Amino acid sequence: MRILITGANGFIGSNLTKYLVGLGKYKVYALVRYRSKLNSLINIRNSITIVKVKPSFKSINTAICKVKPDVVVHLAASWPIEHNFRQIKPIINSNILFPTFLVEAMIKNNIFCMVNTGSFWEQMKSGQDNIPVNLYAASKICFENILRYYADAKNLRFITLKLFGVYGPNGPRGKIFSLLKKSLTIKKPVLLSPGKQVIDLIYINDVVDAYEKAIQYVYKKDNSKPELFFIGSGRGLKLRNIGRIFERCAGGSLNVKWGGRPYRTREIMYSKADNRLTKKRLKWKPKFNLKDGINDMLKKESNI
């Protein structure tokens, strides 16, 4: 099966690309823009095909026509937590215009299977859809509505995986575990929020497994009805409790000041994935609890 991945050079995308290559049953293509850094893919560079495109329909269409993927996995995104006016155009271009060109090219070349990526940031209040936390989340909602048009009008078969708090070895800078790890070795305390927000964390190994099952699911899908699947552990923990678990796993003392900074503007105070449908239809469930995930992450980071 031929799998084309956008955002393959990002944290989740690179881990997914490596995972699919390791399974040995997929031909993997990484769709990236010219000048994109590919450091995260260097170890598997000879096992995948890099497809470089410009952000134009002509360039993307040429790539799709050449590759003829069976399934497209869309992970590329611009995701600032809080934007300024200079970031509006890149957000719109990356999260709406580029993937719409991509889907139009897919339809033009008779390719109808896509795994799309969403985020729990699209649900600022638990149980209420389409209340985005930020402009990034709003743009993802917009693109999902565009996909719904293509599903209804052009028979696109897509599913969306809405990710909760993904973590893993050398995750994006600024994520909670990077800050907690930093606090183990510095004299000045790391300033954190009061830490009462409840979050659902999911280990990267479980996330890439979910994507692989989603690829198989959408490829066999016999209708164009849109489907959403939540990818999370299904368990919410207060950030302070997560800090305690990390401290025990790391075997050191955290140097943090809880309440040293205020909550972010529009902070999500409660998030927990309802993954019952995901387990039932995708035949997926997380294998790592938080303690095991942290231990595995710390072990792999120490070996790099």
Confidence of residue 173 (pLDDT cuts 50, 70, 90): low
**CB of 21 within 8 A of CB of 59?**
no
Say how far apart CA 43 and CA 62 lie, in whole Å.
27
**CB of 263 within 8 A of CB of 193?**
yes
pLDDT at 134: 93
Does 229 have pLDDT greater than 80?
A: yes
pLDDT at 124: 75
Does 83 have pLDDT greater than 90?
A: no
176-199+234-271+288-302 CATH pick, 3.90.25.10, 2.60.130.10, 3.90.1280.10, 3.40.225.10: 3.90.25.10
pLDDT at 27: 98
Q: Residue 114's beta-bridge partner residues?
A: 72, 158
Say how far apart CA 291 and CA 204 lie, in whole Å.
14
pLDDT at 175: 83
Give domain limits for the chain.
2-167+201-231, 176-199+234-271+288-302
Q: How far is CA 291 from the centre of its chain?
A: 21
**Continuous segment of H or E residues that includes residue 157:** strand 157-163
pLDDT at 304: 58
Instruction: Name, of 62-76, 123-137, 161-175, the range with top average pLDDT.
Output: 62-76
Helix 135-154 to helix 98-108 angle (10° resolution) is 10
Tell the CATH superfamily of the 2-167+201-231 domain: NAD(P)-binding Rossmann-like Domain (3.40.50.720)
Do the domains at 2-167+201-231 and 176-199+234-271+288-302 have one common CATH topology? no
Of the listed ranges 171-175, 238-242, 244-248, the one predicted with least confidence: 171-175
9-51 pLDDT, tens digit per residue, is: 999 999 999 999 999 999 999 999 998 889 999 999 999 999 9
Confidence of residue 2 (pLDDT cuts 50, 70, 90): very high
pLDDT at 35: 84
